[in-house]
Amino acid sequence: MTHVFVETNWVVAYAAPAHARVREAMALAQKAASGEIRLYVPSVCLSEARYPIRTKFHPRRPAETVRNYMAWAMAEGTVTPEEGSVTRRVVDRYETSVLAELGHRRHAAFVGEPPRN
The answer to whether residues 46 and 31 touch, using CB atoms and an 8 Å cutoff, is no
Residue 116 has pLDDT above 80, yes or no: no
**Sequence spans of domains, the chain:** 2-56, 60-108
Residue 44 has pLDDT above 90, yes or no: yes
Q: Which of 13, 5, 79 is nearest to 49 (CA)?
A: 13
| pTM, two decimal places | 0.65
Quote the mean pLDDT of the chain.
86
